[in-house]
Amino acid sequence: MLEKNIAQLLNEQVNKELYSAYLYLDFANYYADEGLDGFAHWYEIQAQEERDHAMMIRRYLLDCGVRVTFDAIEKPDKSFQTAMDPLQAGLEHEEYVSSRIETIYAAAFGAKDFKTMQFLDWFVKEQGEEEKNADDMVKKMQLFGGDSKGLYMLNQELAARVYTPSATGPAM
Ligand code: FEO
């Protein structure tokens, strides 16, 4: 049985991952409206991955005998002026999510909850990748997004992203 505070933190994280999906779909809405369908596609896939993360944590909680509850999902509160803005907001958001995973990990460590620590190992690694992806997007936009040809090339590159279910993750 999980300690109550750890179960609560994980349950909150389910909501945060669903919010991440919602946020990235909002980014996709912006890019679709701007005619940048490759950027929109990239974030639609990112939203699918975030939903996977939510389902993985939900499944872990259920398997631990925890009653999962859902909160309201916050309205994405972002207005964008340039195609760079969502990329920077995405990097900041991933840094925040990493800090939440680390908080849960620290709580599990404090409680000697080795099972949850092992479960979260996948998320620690995943967050490293997510932060790197978000940082790469910002850097590429800084380097190449300054003119219409560069933006077109970036849009083409992002359009090629393929969704891969997080099957290697825990407790699907
Ligand atoms: Fe589920 Fe992008 O963190």
pLDDT of residue 35: 97
Alpha carbons 49 and 46: distance in angstroms, whole number: 5
| Structure confidence at residue 166 (pLDDT) | 79
* Domain ranges (residues) in the chain: 4-159
How many C-beta atoms lie closer than 10 Å to residue 58's C-beta?
20
| 113 touches ligand 1 (CB under 6 Å) | no
| pLDDT (0 to 100) of residue 113 | 98
Reported pTM:
0.94
Tell me what pLDDT residue 3 has. Answer: 97
Q: Is the pLDDT of residue 61 over 80?
A: yes
- Burial of residue 141 (CB within 10 Å: 0-12, 13-18, 19+) is buried
pLDDT digits (tens, 9 = 90+) for 146-167: 999 999 999 999 999 999 987 5
With a 6 Å cutoff on the Cβ, whether 97 touches ligand 1 is yes
- % of the chain with per-residue pLDDT over 70: 97
Ligand 1 centroid – CA 29 distance (Å):
19
Residues 6+ away with beta carbon under 8 Å from 170: 56, 60, 118, 119, 122
**Ligand 1 binding pocket includes 116 (Cβ within 6 Å):** no
Which ranges constitute the DSSP H helices of the chain? Answer: 4-34, 37-63, 84-110, 114-144, 148-159
Tokens representing residue 4 in the block: 């109550």
Please check whether residue 20 is in contact with residue 79, taking contact to mean a CB–CB distance below 8 angstroms: no
Q: Are 81 and 24 contacting, i.e. CB atoms less than 8 angstroms apart? A: no
Ligand 1 neighbourhood includes 52 CB (under 6 angstroms): no
Pocket flag, ligand 1, residue 21 (CB < 6 Å) = no
Over the stretch 3-57, which tens digit does the pLDDT of each residue have?
999 999 999 999 999 999 999 999 999 999 999 999 999 999 999 999 999 999 9
Residues constituting the chain: 172
CA 143 to ligand 1 centroid distance, Å: 25
The verdict on domain 4-159 having CATH code 1.20.1260.10 is yes
Q: What is the pLDDT of residue 169?
A: 57
Cα 112 to Cα 83, 105, 116, 125, distances in angstroms: 45, 10, 9, 20
